[in-house]
Amino acid sequence: MTVRRPSDGTSVPAAASVTAGRRRLVALARLAGLPVLAVLLAGCGIRATEVPTNFGPAPSRVRCSLAEPDVSTQAARGLPVQVFLLCGSSLVTVDRTVRVPDGAADSERRMLVAQGLLDELAETPSSAEKEAGYSTDVRGGITVGGPGKGDPEDTLRLSTAPDSLTSYALAQIVCTFSDSAAAEGDGSVVLGGPGPESPRRYECTDEVRARPGSTEPPSKDVAGE
């Protein structure tokens, strides 16, 4: 099929005429703006591509990730320590400090560190920590004391019996203590409650750190150790 140009009477192929027409439409659309271009192209059988312009707000902080702390500043405030907080379904370490008087005897120092760790675990996470997804299941008011009669010398007696704590709180305390100066350095910690019940030796394992809600720290009775 051909079409005849009105100016000189010559004939041109129909396909060439359509192509030229489309070019004129595109040129007109450039003058009128992009919305008109989309309409004109649609009329010529060309599908307009939709380009998203709003991707939503960028995430303000990577979950379970905090900025690196200033170790020198922490050291000036006290003894640098780490505590285990909850983030998602696992335990993660967060840097803290506890105050220990200079010249404290080893046994006193151990109790002061243990109490400081408990207090830090019970502290409400900061705004930045909350934003990153951190939380704690340890409640305030728990105190710690030394061994009772017949207990191993490394026993820590809590004012709340360990078996009355939630699995999350127990995992936080066990993992925090076992990785600190409050323990004897073998990766375990001996915990007891305020009653006469024999204390137990607890361990912080990879499974406990990964699933503190469903995996309780393994423990055994220390009677006879």
Domain housing 195: 77-221
pLDDT the model gives residue 28: 43
Q: Is residue 26 part of a domain?
A: no
pLDDT tens readout for residues 101-154: 887 788 888 899 999 999 999 999 999 999 999 999 999 999 999 999 999 999
Q: Is residue 186 part of a domain?
A: yes
- Tell me how crowded residue 164 is: count the other CB atoms within 10 A of its CB: 10
**pLDDT class of 225 with cuts at 50, 70, 90:** low
Q: Is residue 118 part of a domain?
A: yes
pLDDT the model gives residue 220: 94
The three-state secondary structure class of 43 is: helix
* 169-186: burial string, b at 16+ Cβ within 10 Å, e else: bbbbbbbbbbbbbbbeee
Q: Is residue 53 part of a domain?
A: no
Structure tokens at 140: 């305030």
User: Is the whole model's pTM more than 0.85, yes or no?
Assistant: no
Q: Is residue 128 part of a domain?
A: yes
Q: Is residue 59 part of a domain?
A: no
Total domains in the chain come to 1
Helices and strands in the chain: count of H runs, count of E runs: 7, 10
Q: Is residue 129 part of a domain?
A: yes
Q: Is residue 203 part of a domain?
A: yes
